[in-house]
Structures are given as structure tokens and as C-alpha cells.
Amino acid sequence: MKKLVVIGAGMASGRMLEELFDTAPGAYAVTLFNAEPRGNYNRIMLSPVLSGEKSYAEIVTHDDAWYAANAVTCRFGEAVTRIDRARKVVVGAQGEVPYDQLVIATGSAPFIIPVPGRDLPGVITYRDLDDTNAMIEASGKGGSAVVIGGGLLGLEAAAGLRLRGMEVTVLHLSGHLMERQLDEAAGFLLRRDLEHRGIKVMTKASTTAILGDDRVEAVLLEDGTTLPADLVVMAVGIRPETRLATDAGLEVARGIAIDAQMRTSDPDIFAVGECVDFNGQLFGLVAPLYDQAKVLAQTLLGAEAVFVPKELSTKLKVTGCDLFSAGDFAEGPNREDIVFRDPGRGVYKRLVIEDDAIIGAVMYGDTADSNWFFGQIRDGADISTLRDTLIFGPAFQGGAPVDPMAAVAALPPEAEICGCNGVCKGTIVAAINGGASDLAAVKAQTKASASCGTCTGLVEQVLASTLGDRFTRKAVQPVCGCTELTHEDLRRLIKSQSLKSMPAVWQAGAWKTPDGCHVCRPALNFYLLADWPLEYRDDLQSRFINERKHANIQKDGTFSVMPRMWGGITTPDELRAIADAADKFAVPTVKVTGGQRIDLLGVKSEDLPAIWADLNAAGMVSGHAYSKGLRTVKTCVGTDHCRFGTQDSTGLGIKLEKALWGSWTPHKVKLAVSGCPRNCAEATCKDVGIICVDSGFQIGVAGAAGMDLKETERLGQVETEEEAIALTIAFVQLYRENAKYLDRPYKWVAKVGLDWVKERVVDDLAERQRLIDAFAVSQSVYQKDPWAEHVRERSEQYKPVNLSGFAAE
Amino acid sequence: MDVTLDPQARTFIEVAEVWVPQEGRLVHAQGSYGALDGFAEASARESFAKGEGLPGKAWAEARPVVLKAFDGSYFKRAEAAKEAGLTAAVAIPVFAGAELKAVLVVLCADDAERIGAIEVWAETDGLLMLEDGYFGAAKHFEWVSQHTHFPIGQGLPGGVWAARTPMLMRDLGSGYRFVRAESAGKAGLTTGLGLPVPVPGSKTYVLTLLSARGTPLARRFEIWDARSARVGKTGAALLVDGTCARDGRLWDADNPRRAAAWEGPIGTVLGNGLPLVLAGNPAQTAGYDSLVALPIHQAGELAFVIAWYC
């Protein structure tokens, strides 16, 4: 095993060791020197320790157990005296350690301003836990503290000492606080906030001397001011700690010179962290240190890695002060500013723009969008199109997004969640409280969502509403990219909030696009017209071409025209009219369809209104062969002619078609009525298929004979024709009110369960009547012949656009 | 699910209840009563007009109110409280601007062992003075507190006042100098939670809850930051600080826990802006017996939620 010696147990070398042990445990035998008598802790969190908001134990990154588990030989509290490159050994106070590879991670040393009195007891720096403890100790006696330096560290020290009860003055050489991170305006707000908490701030204050006999007593400023001080904290800056490297003859600039693999001028010696100098750049914040650590770990393991310095951002850890700064915000000839100020709330935001990209940002008081802005800076994103609203951040477009969770949280315990198995919210919550923490466990214990699964989303919302962030749900499938809502959410939202127009839904549902898209608009249009037939106006723009043109477009761009033949019954007059129309408009193909009607194929778009007018004149209406709605009701001849017929199946078929035509449904709906169980009308594979028997009518639903093949399931058996019609209408209306757009009835029933449908359509007479009444209301609006309407009002739209006029101009 | 540590230790707070305004009176919304069924029943029946009883007084006077003796006081449920062994109560009004959202009442039982402190600090002449407090058996600490005052920015109460945020302080009595550390250490007080109590008008109130290891006021504390300046207009909150007897530290600066509105107990508080008291559902209360979550409405928004679990 190769021998790796690391000098310094700070955050950079700590992260490097983590990477090393994670990637290749056992690759190196590691010896770790640290001058401090302890291992790696999160130095960034020293300020909350100083203020008493955190304890030291809480900021330890690597404890003894971690070092033991990774077989690190710890030489803590032992300073390294020199590196002998010729013999490849590191010399510590208690003996030598040989290395194959060496990592120098000595960090930085605080800069001590060269004024008289700087060595007096009571003058301390702020770098490590010992400094922190010294400040805590000193603050216990009360009195006054002077912090020299109004940068990040100095201000954190000042706030901590103030919380500990000291009178604190901050001296800062520059004109405003944190001048490297903040501009003047933000610096002013920060100063105001600090003064509000009882910290005195003096800018342009140059220290001449620190006064005192046996220990510090006061600080003397250049202008002659004397500030009494029991404690002086120097936080004016840091410089890389390079003594060992210099003594060993390594190349040292401002820090230890390294290449992009963290290698020093000696190929077996590396350096990482605040002690390095990379192309003239020094590092004091943690993010690039972690990047360096990763590169170094890979280099040590022989992998390719390159260190590239990235943009940095800064935040201050003083409870109650929110500031953010990133990038470059100096004035410049090609630079423009966008500034937002809210003096009442103490909010200041400034973006610096150059060449249509944000190159710097300073925020004070409201830093909620800082990560987004930082991303824009880092990516050099082009913001020219966003510029008007850029300062308001990523969320400027909409109001607060809708929260479907609010409705779920408001449900009472007795509210039914799973209709199939009759499971209410209280039962599910009880199961969760009993330890069920995911969907599978709730399903196993309560049967909720164990049948059709339609309520899965709702059960998950109950889980989330009960457990909060300890529940992680599966990704749900939203309607489309315009929204986060699922079809089920959307239908619930439209009903619960009485949303009656598309803009209302877009607003309430936090649509991300201004006008929706080709996926969500047809679905939304259907949901709205199904739920609010009287209030909502059907939107032609949201329909597919076939529904817009009321005809099926064919592959050559012509259309097919199919008049309705009620129950498959026609007359010589109708047949003559069809034949005449076929002649008149030179219809190339006339076809008898499987749905018992006649299709005229190959009609040109501009001829559509005229052919419709002719067919209308013969008493025929649109067969809706193109719509998500009722298509045909196929029948056999029944008792009128057939020897086996048990009921008037044709008559029932006609009545059903006359009742249901014109209605919009989530997907197409096909019916059939067979006069006896021989089933000549093939009713057992329809969306609704009725089989007549001697004792009445067997009503089957949810059949399929397309991509899927499925026999109908028995909804019920009734004695009279009226009941058969009532059940059929109620079923269709229930489907209209609840199904997901483009789910055929068989798919929908599979989700909600036939029992759920039966309860509402068969068992609950009041609900059945409500469904029938609601359907009647909808039909009062939508049961009209679209052909007649389009011939009357829209025939212009079917004419081709004459382009010759434009060409002449 | 893990179960509570040392459940045999009696906690400092025995009862927590939420009263909400309804048609001009404060009515009982939720409560955690432990085994004190009689007091629970008496409370469920009760309601208070403005100025009436302890919750009504907190409402009328728009300030946190401490009551240390029930007999002969305005406390309406004195008889039931006496039977239940309860001896002191603190009512904390939750205001959103001028609107009273709810009053949280906590009740404590007195005996020679129970240590803890619930303190109400009020600003007088630019200093925070102890307006009142309940200290259980921590008599010396009570005396020290009565004779301590805090300028803005100093100590736990002064820090809360200056930062306008809740703050959590650890290891009150050991290692370093909580301003009242010496006495706190002697009393065994370990953890302190300070929070602003915004009320209509210009008065400043800070409430502190100081917990001792033996008779913990709570075994887990959490501070959730919901300010839009921090989380945007999402209605969510980030766990910015917390400590737990079982899980240790609860903050992660790089990847803070997030609570979405209406999701979980904290989410419920974020959603409706009302205090929440939950008991008997360890799955929802981090494995502990009960949870009290208190919203802080500030500057026209729900700014923080603090939660304690016992």
C-alpha cells in the first residue's frame, strides 16, 4: 500500500480524504498531521458556535470513529517542522513519517496588522476553534470588544460577541462594509441592520496602535480617537500559510504554486486549499476548495482531472441578515445596472449586465431568488428577452401557484378517498399513524387504491399531507408540459373552484404557457364543456381538425361525409339524396360502414357546406363519425322481422341514438342493441351493449374491439325500455363527468371499478336521476346538427384562400 | 417507528391547547392533555370572550400572559386544573397584523423537581426586562432572570429582538457564557429557544423556552424559516435550525429540509397559519408523544414556524 501523508486537517483535505476513501478504499495508508489538537470540523460554522446558536459537537465533520474506520494515523496537536524531499519524509515534533505522496493543506494564517501593541494579551485573530473559545472566554467577563475588519469574518465575530453581551465596535478601513462583496448601497443596509442590533460601526477607520500595559486596554485610531477595549479581534484578511513549502524549496508565489492537477513543483507533492496559488488566484471560500479536493483525490488515484475555478457567491451567517453577492459588480463603461429598492422592507437588489448577460449580482434583505441569479451568472445566460422583468426573478409570471394539497388537507376524516373499497381519509391517516409510510403499506393495510387505482394520487396526497417531507411520492404524470396537474387534479380543480373558462383554469392551475398547447387545450375544452354546459362556450380552436371541420380528414386531404342513420334504418328518399349528392360532388367512393351507415369519401373541403346543405334538405344530420362523442347505435331487426327477436331492438336503438346524439364525451362512444342473445348487432364488444332477453334488457358496458379486445361487463338487467335508456344515459353522463380525456369507457371503468359505477348508476336512484338531468341540460346546448350550423354561419371558412390577389400586388 | 427516549421523565409542560376566535369568542380547537381526561373534558366545553379567562386576557391585552396561581384568579377552569394537578399557565397570542389568529395555552404542574423556564420579556425604555415567567423549581434562576435585562442584540432575548427571528441556543450552562449561564448551569438548563411574539402596536415581546435535561420542556426543537425573502412565494419553509435528543443536530446548511404547505404537521401550520398541537401519533411527531407548532406572523406574512416535541 502506498503511503500518503497529509499536513493539515481542514475542510479541503477532509473532503479530499472522503473522496479518496469513497472511490478507492485501501489505496493509501494515510497519516494526517494537524497542528490543532483535533480533527476536521466545519470552520464555516464557527460563527454560530461563537454566538451560542450551535455547539462544537454539532460542527464536527470527522470524528474519531471516522478516522478509525478509514485507518487514518492521526497526529493531531503535532506541528510539522519540515519536509525532507530528498529522503521523502515529513518531520514532526514527535518523529518522522515517510511518504510516497505528500499533500500540503496548511490553509491560511490570519493577517496581523503591523501596529504597536499587536502582541498584547487580549488581541486575537479569528481562524479556528481555539480563537473562538478564546473569544467566548473573554466575552464572559463582559466589557467592550473592538473588531478590526468589516469583512465576512469580522462581522460574524462582531455579531457573535454582541449576542454574548459585549459592547462591540467594528473598525473598517474602507468606506463601506464588506466592500469586496457588496456595493455601497447594500453595505449601507448591512450597516443599518448591524447598528440596529447594537453594534457600532466605524468606516474609514485606520488603526494606529493597540494600547495597554499588561493586556489590551484600548485602540487608538489615526484621527486620534481612543476606543476602550477588553478584547481586540483582528479580522483584516488572510494569507496562504506557505512556510513549510518555502523551506522545502518548492515554488511559491503568493501561495504554493500548483498546476490544474494540484501538483506542486515537486511531482510527488501536492497542495490543496487556502494555501495554494493557482495561476495567481487565491481561494478563501469553500466551494472551490471542494472542487480542488475532488481533483486531487482523482489525481492521487491516477485518474484524469482538471481544476477549473468557478464563479463564487457569498452569504453572511449572521442570524437575521440576508445578503447575497456574486460575480463582478464594479462600474464599467459597457456595464448597465438594473436596480430594485424597497426602502420600507430594507430590500436592495442590483444586477450588473454586460453584453446581455448578468455578470454580477448584489442582494440585501431578499435573497430568495439568489440561486437562480447565480445560475444565470455562472451559465452566462442571454437575458435580453427577460430584461424587463429580470429583477423580479424566476417567478415573475404567475401569482402563487395552486396547491391541490390544501383541498386534501381540508378533507374531514370521514371523506371517502377510495371509492372502490369504501376507504375514508380517517382510516388511511390511522394506518399512517400506525406506521404505514408509503403507498404500498397503506394499500396493504387499508385496501385504499388496491382496486382500480384511480385514487392513487389522492392516497399519496393524504400520505404527504400527514407525513410531510418524510413521504416521497412517485413522479406523477402531468397533463402536459404546461402544468404540473394531472388529468384527475385538473378535473377536481375545475369542479372544486368552479372554473368556467380556460384563462381561469390557466391562472388557477399555474399554467406555465400563456395559452396552453395542443395537448392540454382539447382536454381542457372537454372538461369545461362537460362540467359547465351552460356557462362555458365550446372553443373551436381547441379541437382537432376533424372536429373543427365536422368531417374526417383523409390521407389525401379530402374529407369523408357520413350522415346519421338512426339505428341503421334508412329510407328510399334518403338513399336517393345520398346518391344525388355523390353524383353532384363527384364523390369517388361510397362505402357501407360497420356502424350501419353510408360514408361518402373523397369530398373536397370547399364542397363540404354544399353537400351538407343538400343532405340537410333531405332531412339528414351529421353522423358525428369524426367526434369524441356518440358515433352509432348498431341494431339488429328485432321482433318486427326476426323469428328469434325478444324485444324491439331497432326501436330501442333509435331511441338511444336520438337521446344521445350530439353529446361530447372523453372519447368516442359506440352502442349496439341486439334483439336476442345470438347477438347479431355484436353488442358485447361495445362501449354500451344491450342484449334483449324475454325478461327485459341486459345492459353491458366497457367492451372494446379495437387495439384491445374486451367483452362488456354487466352493468345491470332491467325490465323496461325506459329503464334501459335511463341506465345508458346515466352511465354516459358519469363517464363524461369523471373520465380522463381520451380514455374510452373500458379504460375508465378499469380505473374506477364497475362496482363504483354500479353504485351510482344502478343502486343510487337519486344519483341516477341527477346524472340524467345533468345530461339533459348539456344536450339542450349541444344536441344540434353542426352541419346546419356551419352551412348557416361558417361556410366562408371552408373556401380556399385566393392568393392571386396578393400576388398581383 | 422509534419510540421516545426515557419516557418516564415527566415533561415540564403537561398540557398544550389551541383556542381560535369564532364569532367573537375563543373556542377550543385542539389540545394535548396526556392522561388528564377530566381537564380535557372541562376544556372542550369552554369558550372565552375577549378579556375573559386566561386566553381572553391574552387576546384583550395583546401580549403573552403568565399565570402562576389559579385560585382566586380570573382562570375559569381552576377547579378542573386543581384536580389535574396543574398549577401554572402561559397564554401566547398569535397575531397576524391586527388580526388574532389563535391563542396557544400551555399548562404546567408544579413540584419540587421540575425544572424549566417559560419567560416573557418585554421592552421597557430600550431594554428587555422580564415581564413574567414560570420557572418551576428553578428558583435561583428565576431570581437571576428578574434581575437581568438585555439591550438589543445581547443574549438570547436581545438577539431575538434584534434579528426578529427565533433563535436556538445550546449548552446554556456549560462551556461558554450564556449571559445567565452560571445560574442556568446550576439549574440544569441546557437548551434555549427564543422567539418574537408580534402583537399589534409598538410593544416588543420575546418569549423564551428554556429546557432542562431531567424534566425537558421538549426533547426536540425546530425552527422553520418561511419568509418569502428566503423561500420565495412558495408557501414552503426550510428547517434552518434544530436539535433533537435522539437525532442530534437537525440543520444541514447545504441541503436543508423543506416543508411544503399542507404537507405534514409543519405544512399544516404553513397552510392555515394557526398553531398546531398533536398528540398520540408518533408517526407524525418524529417518534415523540406530542408536538406543538407555533407560527410567527411578521411583516405581513407567515415568517417562521417553531416546533417543539416532547
Q: Does A467 touch chain B (CB under 8 A)?
A: yes
Segment A86-91 mean pLDDT: 96
- Give, as one character, the DSSP assignment of residue A223: T
Q: Does B168 touch chain A (CB under 8 A)?
A: yes
* Predicted confidence (pLDDT) at residue A422 exceeds the cutoff of 80: no
Q: Verify that B150 and B98 share a domain, yes or no.
A: no
B225 to A187, B122, B295: CA distances (angstroms):
24, 24, 10
Q: Does B268 touch chain A (CB under 8 A)?
A: yes
Interface test with chain B among A405, A445, A463, A472, by most B beta carbons within 10 Å? A405
pLDDT tens, position by position, A574-583: 999 999 999 9
The answer to whether domain A322-392 has CATH 3.40.50.1820 is no
Q: Do B177 and A136 touch (CB under 8 A)?
A: yes
pLDDT tens, position by position, A231-286: 999 999 889 999 999 999 999 999 999 999 999 999 999 999 999 999 998 888 88
Residue bearing cell 451560542: A52
* Predicted confidence (pLDDT) at residue A344 exceeds the cutoff of 90: no
Q: How many CB atoms lie within 10 A of CB A332?
A: 12
Q: Do B177 and A140 touch (CB under 8 A)?
A: yes
Share of chain A above pLDDT 90, in %: 55
Q: Verify that B58 and B76 share a domain, yes or no.
A: yes
**Contact present, A563 and A576 (Cβ < 8 Å):** no
Q: Does B163 touch chain A (CB under 8 A)?
A: yes
B231 to A195, A376, A392, B260, B297: CA distances (angstroms):
26, 18, 14, 11, 15
CA dihedral A485→A486→A491→A497, nearest 10 degrees, is -20
Residue type, A389: T
Q: Verify that B180 and B261 share a domain, yes or no.
A: no
Which of A13-17, A150-154, A671-675 has the lowest average pLDDT?
A150-154
Q: How many CB atoms lie within 10 A of CB A395?
A: 15
Segment A379-384 mean pLDDT: 86
Give phi and psi for B222, each to the nearest 5: -140, 145
CATH number for the A404-531 domain, one of 3.30.2270.10, 1.10.10.1100, 1.10.10.10, 1.10.1760.20? 1.10.10.1100
Q: Do B176 and A140 touch (CB under 8 A)?
A: yes
Residue B174, pLDDT score:
63
- In Å, the largest CA–CA distance within chain B is 54
Q: Verify that B75 and B1 share a domain, yes or no.
A: yes
Q: Does A747 touch chain B (CB under 8 A)?
A: no
Where does a domain end: B214, B230, B262? Answer: B214
Domain residue ranges in chain A: 2-108+240-300, 112-236, 322-392, 404-531, 545-617, 630-784
Q: Exposed, middle or buried: residue A473 (CB in 10 Å: 0-12, 13-18, 19+)?
A: middle
CATH number for the A545-617 domain, one of 1.10.357.10, 3.40.50.300, 3.90.480.10, 3.40.640.10? 3.90.480.10
Q: Does A437 touch chain B (CB under 8 A)?
A: yes
Q: Do A468 and B176 touch (CB under 8 A)?
A: no
Model pTM above 0.90? no
Listed residue (A581, A592, A655, A662) closest to A618, CA to CA: A581
Q: Verify that B239 and B226 share a domain, yes or no.
A: yes
CA distance A529 to A547: 15
Residue type, A803: L
What lies within 8 Å, CB to CB, of A649 at 6+ separation is: A635, A636, A637, A638, A639, A673, A674, A675, A681, A690, A692
Closest Cα in chain A, distance from residue B120 (Å)? 18
Closest CB to B171: pick one of A44, A55, A395. Answer: A55
Complex ipTM value: 0.78
Instruction: Using only the alpha carbons of chain A, give its radius of gyration.
Output: 40
Which residue of chain A comes nearest to B150, CA vs CA? A165
Please name every residue paired with A718 in a beta bridge, in sequence order, or none if there are none.
Answer: A697
Where does a domain end: B111, B143, B173? Answer: B111
Strand intervals (E) in A604-739: 630-635, 669-674, 688-693, 696-701, 704-705, 709-710, 713-718
Q: Do A58 and B260 touch (CB under 8 A)?
A: no
Q: Does A313 touch chain B (CB under 8 A)?
A: no
Q: Verify that B36 and B107 share a domain, yes or no.
A: yes
What domain count does chain B have?
Answer: 3
Q: Verify that B209 and B226 share a domain, yes or no.
A: no
Instruction: Compute the 3-state secondary structure of chain B and give helix, strand, coil in percent, each to the nearest 5.
Output: 20, 40, 40
Q: Does B73 touch chain A (CB under 8 A)?
A: no
Q: Do A466 and B284 touch (CB under 8 A)?
A: yes
> Nearest-5° angle of CA A750, CA A752, CA A754?
70
Interface test with chain B among A164, A316, A322, A428, by most B beta carbons within 10 Å? A164
Q: Exposed, middle or buried: residue A301 (CB in 10 Å: 0-12, 13-18, 19+)?
A: middle
- Give, as one character, the DSSP assignment of residue A59: H
Residue B157: helix, strand or coil by DSSP? helix
Residue A807, pLDDT score:
45
Strand intervals (E) in B38-98: 47-49, 65-67, 88-96
**Contact present, B238 and B244 (Cβ < 8 Å):** no
What is the CATH architecture of A630-784?
2-Layer Sandwich (3.30)
CA distance A356 to B253: 33
B305 to A51, A82, B58, B221: CA distances (angstroms):
22, 54, 20, 11
pLDDT tens, position by position, A563-610: 999 999 999 999 999 999 999 999 999 999 988 999 999 998 888 889
**A400 falls in which pLDDT band (50, 70, 90)?**
very low
Q: Do A468 and B179 touch (CB under 8 A)?
A: no
Specify the fold of A2-108+240-300.
FAD/NAD(P)-binding domain (3.50.50)
CATH code, residues A112-236: 3.50.50.60
Specify the higher pLDDT residue, A310 or A591.
Answer: A591
* Predicted confidence (pLDDT) at residue A809 exceeds the cutoff of 50: no
Interface of B with A in 215-244 (CB under 8 A): 228-235, 241, 243
* Predicted confidence (pLDDT) at residue A522 exceeds the cutoff of 80: yes
pLDDT tens, position by position, A427-469: 999 998 888 888 888 888 888 886 656 677 788 888 888 888 7
Q: Verify that B195 and B161 share a domain, yes or no.
A: yes
Interface test with chain B among A135, A163, A342, by most B beta carbons within 10 Å? A163
Closest Cα in chain A, distance from residue B64 (Å)? 23
Residue A455, pLDDT score:
77
Residues of B in contact with A43 (CB under 8 A): none
Q: Verify that B80 and B120 share a domain, yes or no.
A: no
CA distance A556 to A572: 31
CA distance A286 to A118: 29
Specify the higher pLDDT residue, A410 or A738.
Answer: A738
Listed residue (A227, A225, A170) closest to A198, CA to CA: A170
User: A545-617: same fold as A112-236?
Assistant: no
Residues of B in contact with A129 (CB under 8 A): none
* Predicted confidence (pLDDT) at residue A804 exceeds the cutoff of 70: no
What lies within 8 Å, CB to CB, of B305 at 6+ separation is: B222, B223, B224, B226, B237, B259, B266, B269, B270, B293, B294, B295, B296
> What one-character-per-residue DSSP string does A456-525 give?
HHHHHHHHHHHHGGG--PPPP--SSTT-S--HHHHHHHHHHTT--SHHHHHHHTT-SSSS--TTHHHHHH
Where does a domain end: B214, B246, B270? Answer: B214
CA distance A779 to A533: 8
Which residue of chain A comes nearest to B3, CA vs CA? A435
CA dihedral A233→A236→A240→A241, nearest 10 degrees, is -30
- For residue B69, what are the domain limits? 1-111
Q: Does A44 touch chain B (CB under 8 A)?
A: yes
Q: Verify that B208 and B224 share a domain, yes or no.
A: no
CA distance A562 to A554: 13
**Contact present, A680 and A636 (Cβ < 8 Å):** yes
> What one-character-per-residue DSSP string does A71-128 give?
T-EEEET--EEEEETTTTEEEETTEEEE-SEEEE---EEE-----TTTTSTTEEE-SS
Q: Verify that B105 and B119 share a domain, yes or no.
A: no
Closest Cα in chain A, distance from residue B83 (Å)? 31
Q: Verify that B207 and B277 share a domain, yes or no.
A: no
Q: Do A196 and B1 touch (CB under 8 A)?
A: no
Specify the higher pLDDT residue, A411 or A518.
Answer: A518
Q: Does B162 touch chain A (CB under 8 A)?
A: yes
Give phi and psi for A576, each to the nearest 5: -65, -45
CA distance B214 to B116: 9
* Predicted confidence (pLDDT) at residue A371 exceeds the cutoff of 80: no
Closest CB to A162: pick one of B153, B253, B263. Answer: B153
Question: Across the A/B interface, how many CB contacts are shorter than 8 Å?
Answer: 161
Specify the CATH number for the domain of residue B206: 3.30.450.40
Segment A541-559 mean pLDDT: 84
Residues of chain B with pLDDT below 70 are: 1-10, 174-179
pLDDT tens, position by position, A130-161: 999 999 888 888 899 999 999 888 999 999 99
Give phi and psi for A332, each to the nearest 5: -160, 160
Residue A482, pLDDT score:
86
Q: Which three cell numbers stand for residue A493?
A: 380543480
Q: Exposed, middle or buried: residue A16 (CB in 10 Å: 0-12, 13-18, 19+)?
A: buried
